Amino acid sequence: MDHTPKTTAISRIAYTSTIAKGIFIRDTSALLVMHDSKSCVAAADFNNDGSIDLFVGGRVIPGKYPVTPKSYLLQNDGKGKFKDVTAQMAPALQSAGMVTTAAWCDIDHDGKKDLIVAGEWMPISIYLNKGDHFEDRTKDFFDRDYSGWWNTITVADI
Ligand SMILES: [Ca+2]
Ligand SMILES: [Ca+2]
């Protein structure tokens, strides 16, 4: 049986809002086509231009478990269209693992949102936002590799 991922309409659907009118309009051109199954979307303005950008976590390639699917860093052009900047800004995220959850947080307090990612059979990973790229700095924040089967991340200041 062929389990090769096929393009589905749901991977390209986004909704934009017209705030003044308080309505949502379906925009099928806002996102690129993303194959494989996704697990999560985490939103933040990672380039500080005033427009919300996205991280989309890849969960599994249908029929190819546990091969690592692609995850995406998508930059908003300010008009609600998202460009895949993963290869330029965070190439390691293209094969981060079987991601189940992600969160944005300014971990190093430099005014730029950093990305925390976790998933199935993978460590909790921290990607610091360096402005024009992200660096995997997990080892700077943990005393060991916290690999496991993570389902969700909640960020808190304790
Ligand atoms: Ca932005
Ligand atoms: Ca930061």
Q: 97 near 122, Cβ under 8 Å?
A: yes
What CA–CA distance (Å, rounded) separates 55 from 41? Answer: 6
> How many angstroms separate the alpha carbon of residue 21 from the centre of ligand 2?
35
> How many angstroms separate the alpha carbon of residue 48 from the centre of ligand 2?
11
> How many angstroms separate the alpha carbon of residue 103 from the centre of ligand 2?
13
> How many angstroms separate the alpha carbon of residue 72 from the centre of ligand 1?
15
Q: In angstroms, what is the C-alpha Rg of the chain? A: 16
- The predicted-structure confidence for 28-75, as pLDDT tens digits, reads as follows 888 988 888 999 999 999 999 999 999 999 999 999 999 999 999 999
What CA–CA distance (Å, rounded) separates 95 from 114? Answer: 18
Strand (E) or helix (H) holding 141: helix 138-141
pTM, rounded to two decimals: 0.87
> How many angstroms separate the alpha carbon of residue 141 from the centre of ligand 1?
26
- The predicted-structure confidence for 86-141, as pLDDT tens digits, reads as follows 999 999 999 999 999 999 999 999 999 999 999 999 999 999 999 999 999 999 99
Q: 82 near 57, Cβ under 8 Å?
A: no
Q: Any idea how long the chain is? A: 158
**What letter would DSSP give residue 144?**
S
> How many angstroms separate the alpha carbon of residue 126 from the centre of ligand 1?
19
